[in-house]
Amino acid sequence: MNSSNFSSEPSGFDAHDPFERPPEPASQSPEQAFSPETLEQARTAAAGYGMVIRKTPAGFKGSAPEFKGLFVRARPTLAECEQAVMDALVVHIADLLTEGHTLPTPGRRSQLNIRISPEEKATLERAAAMLGESVSEFMRRAALEAAARSAS
């Protein structure tokens, strides 16, 4: 069963916007497609994952970072977007559980922002690329290593 069968998205999308995906018609409701036990397990698991919501001229768009490709089109309110992401997440997780897949570990929920110069950023990008890491992962690892050294 493919979770994309449960799209309730309006027609039309912006192919240049990563938060947009073409809609697919819904074939049946989650309650028809999954057992009550699977849906309950999926709802419980979904509550542990984060979501990213962004405001756009069209409304609020959302995604679930641990599930690449899980995007929700614009909704008029933040609450509607959050609910749409959660609904999509539950269906996707139920589909994964039904197919016997292991769920990804929920990601980190805290965020730290720093201000650096363009030159410092370029230096960090080069160093991260040399190690095959994202800048965020490079910074996180380097900061934790420095913190461990200073604590000992």
16 and 67 fall within a common domain: yes
Q: What is the pLDDT of residues 16-58, one digit of tens each?
A: 454 444 445 456 788 888 999 999 999 999 999 988 899 999 9
Q: Domain count of the chain?
A: 2
* Inside any domain, residue 70: yes
Alpha-carbon distance of 38 to 22, in angstroms, equals 27
Per-residue confidence band for 105, with pLDDT thresholds at 50, 70 and 90: confident
How many helices (H) and strands (E) in the chain? 5, 3
- The pLDDT value given to residue 109: 61
Domain that holds residue 90: 3-98
CATH code, 26: 3.30.160
* Inside any domain, residue 61: yes
